[in-house]
C-alpha cells in the first residue's frame, strides 16, 4: 500500500513523535514539564514546530479540529512558560497543569491519526468519529486527570535541597 503522507506530513509526524517523547521523558524524569530545563525546552521547541507544520498538512483539504488544537496549544505554551512569573506561587501549579494539557492535546490528533492510518492495510478506525477513537480519548482524559492529581500532590511535598520546581 502506498504512503499517503506528503513530505511535509512525514516531517510533521517525525517532529511530533519526538515532541511527545520529550514530554513523556520530562514527566518521567521531573514529574512535570519544566520549561526551564533542557528536556522542557526541547519539548516546547518541538511542540511549536509540530503545531506550525500541522497547518501545511491537510488531508481533507481544509482546516480540521486538529488544527484548532494546534492554535490552542500555541496559545497555552506561553501561559505555561510564564505562569510562575505572572501568578507567583499559584503560577507553579498553573504551569504544571497547562504544560501537561499541551501534551494531552497533542495526543488527541496523534491517537486519531494513528488509529485511522495503522495498520496500513486495514486501519483500526474508519474515521475520527469511530468508537475506538472516542474510547481512546476518554482513557487519555482519565489518565490526564489522574496525572495532574499526582503532579499537584507532588508539588505539595517538601522538595529536597537542590530540586527546583521551575
DSSP run (H or E) holding 118: none
Instruction: Let me know if residue 1 belongs to a domain.
Output: no
Comparing C-alpha atoms, which of 70, 149, 66, 73 is closest to residue 111? 66
Determine the Cα–Cα distance for residues 68 and 108; give it in Å rounded to an integer.
12
Q: What residues make up the domain containing 89?
A: 7-156
Determine the Cα–Cα distance for residues 153 and 131; give it in Å rounded to an integer.
33
Instruction: Let me know if residue 38 belongs to a domain.
Output: yes
Instruction: Let me know if residue 164 belongs to a domain.
Output: no
Query: According to the model, what pLDDT value does residue 72 have?
Result: 98
DSSP run (H or E) holding 14: helix 7-30
Average pLDDT over residues 24-30: 97
Comparing C-alpha atoms, which of 39, 44, 104 is closest to residue 79? 44
pLDDT digits (tens, 9 = 90+) for 51-108: 999 999 876 777 889 999 999 999 999 999 999 999 998 999 999 999 999 999 999 9
Query: According to the model, what pLDDT value does residue 5 have?
Result: 84
Instruction: Let me know if residue 2 belongs to a domain.
Output: no
Instruction: Let me know if residue 100 belongs to a domain.
Output: yes
Instruction: Let me know if residue 113 belongs to a domain.
Output: yes
Query: According to the model, what pLDDT value does residue 165 have?
Result: 52
Least confident of 5-14, 110-119, 131-140, 153-162: 153-162
Comparing C-alpha atoms, which of 1, 13, 3 is closest to residue 109? 13
Amino acid at each position: 500500500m502506498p504512503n499517503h503522507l506528503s513530505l511535509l506530513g512525514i516531517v510533521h509526524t517525525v517532529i511530533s513523535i519526538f515532541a511527545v517523547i520529550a514530554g513523556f521523558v520530562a514527566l518521567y524524569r521531573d514529574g512535570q514539564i519544566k520549561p526551564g530545563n533542557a528536556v522542557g525546552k526541547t519539548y516546547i521547541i518541538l511542540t511549536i514546530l509540530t503545531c506550525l507544520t500541522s497547518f501545511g498538512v491537510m488531508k481533507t483539504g481544509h482546516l480540521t479540529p486538529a488544527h484548532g488544537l494546534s492554535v490552542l496549544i500555541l496559545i497555552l505554551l506561553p501561559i505555561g512558560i510564564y505562569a510562575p512569573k505572572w501568578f507567583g506561587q499559584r503560577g507553579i501549579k498553573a504551569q504544571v497543569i497547562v504544560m501537561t494539557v499541551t501534551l494531552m492535546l497533542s495526543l488527541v490528533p496523534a491517537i486519531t491519526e494513528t488509529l485511522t492510518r495503522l495498520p496500513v492495510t486495514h486501519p483500526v478506525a474508519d474515521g475520527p468519529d469511530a468508537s475506538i477513537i472516542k474510547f481512546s480519548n476518554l482513557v487519555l482524559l482519565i489518565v490526564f486527570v489522574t496525572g495532574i492529581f499526582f503532579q499537584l500532590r507532588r508539588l505539595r511535598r517538601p522538595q529536597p535541597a537542590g530540586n527546583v520546581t521551575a
